[in-house]
């Protein structure tokens, strides 16, 4: 397998800086670029199409999942605040909320531990997550969307990804509406490679 070395590190994301940086390469060299992998920053797509007209733009999977990760965490904090600072529900979501952010494939299904937040009941991680999700329907919906997105990306499943995109963004929790609009954007949707 051929090793590809980076050409350099770009010091700014301003359009004028990027344009000057890439214009130092000949037009033919820029036409030879086949793919460009970037984050979800909208101005990049237009710039890449201008500088590298034949390149296939690929959305970086990390940034797709990171946007949903932030949205799930925002939803968790919103539910915490709705419960009221210092309440049992608030403390439980604060101390155990990181479990919600863990991809389901990494969760342990068979280890029991005495969970202080639930009266020292002997629970598995999955049981704790189910109890957390029972606190709020919005949190449950956000969690299911997040886990479905991770699964689609990790398994490179175009059909699972398209099923997520078929969800009307207005029925999703507020933090996930932006995620859904971004992922369903027609100018971006064709750039996900699975």
* 187 pLDDT tier (thresholds 50, 70, 90): low
Q: Are residues 50 and 82 both part of a single domain?
A: no
Residue percentage of the chain with pLDDT more than 90 = 36
Same domain as 139, residue 95? yes
Domain annotation covers residue 2? no
If asked whether residues 111 and 177 sit together in one domain, one would say: yes
95 shares its domain with 128: yes
Is there a single domain that holds both residue 139 and residue 54?
no
Last residue of a domain, one of 6, 31, 61: 61
- 76: containing domain: 62-189
32 and 101 together in one domain: no
If asked whether residues 40 and 118 sit together in one domain, one would say: no
Does residue 160 sit in the same domain as residue 123? yes
Residues 49 and 109 in one domain: no
Distances (CA, A) of 170 to 76, 107, 178: 19, 30, 10
83 belongs to a structural domain: yes
Alpha-carbon distance of 119 to 137, in angstroms, equals 23
Q: Report the alpha-carbon distance of residue 55 to residue 153 in Å, rounded.
A: 22
What confidence tens digit (pLDDT) does each residue in 41-86 have?
A: 777 778 888 899 998 887 777 878 888 999 999 999 999 999 999 8
Is the confidence at residue 192, as pLDDT, over 60? no
Query: Same domain, yes or no, for 168 and 184?
Result: yes
Q: Is position 69 within any domain? A: yes
Residue 82: which of 71, 93, 72 has the closest Cα? 93
Q: In the chain, how many domains are there?
A: 2
Residue 10 located in a structural domain: no
Residues 70 and 56 in one domain: no
Give the model's confidence band at 39: pLDDT under 50 very low, under 70 low, under 90 confident, else very high: confident
Q: Give a yes or no: residue 4 inside a domain.
A: no
């Amino acid at each position: 397998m051929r090793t590809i070395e980076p050409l350099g590190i770009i010091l700014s994301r301003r359009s004028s800086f990027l344009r000057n940086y890439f214009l130092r390469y000949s037009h033919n060299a820029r036409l030879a670029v086949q793919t460009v992998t970037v984050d979800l920053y909208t101005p990049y797509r237009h710039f890449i199409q201008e500088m590298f007209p034949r390149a296939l733009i690929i959305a970086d999977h990390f940034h797709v999942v990171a946007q949903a990760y932030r949205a799930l965490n925002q939803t968790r904090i919103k539910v915490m605040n709705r419960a009221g600072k210092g309440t049992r529900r608030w403390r439980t979501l604060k101390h155990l909320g990181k479990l919600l952010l863990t991809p389901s494939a990494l969760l342990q299904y068979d280890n029991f531990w005495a969970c202080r937040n639930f009266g020292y009941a002997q629970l598995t991680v999955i049981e704790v997550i189910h109890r957390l999700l029972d606190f709020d329907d919005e949190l449950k919906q956000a969690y299911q969307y997040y886990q479905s997105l991770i699964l689609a990306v990790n398994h490179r499943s175009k059909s699972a990804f398209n099923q997520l995109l078929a969800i009307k963004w207005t029925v999703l929790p507020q933090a996930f509406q932006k995620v859904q609009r971004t992922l369903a954007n027609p100018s971006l949707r064709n750039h996900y490679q699975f």
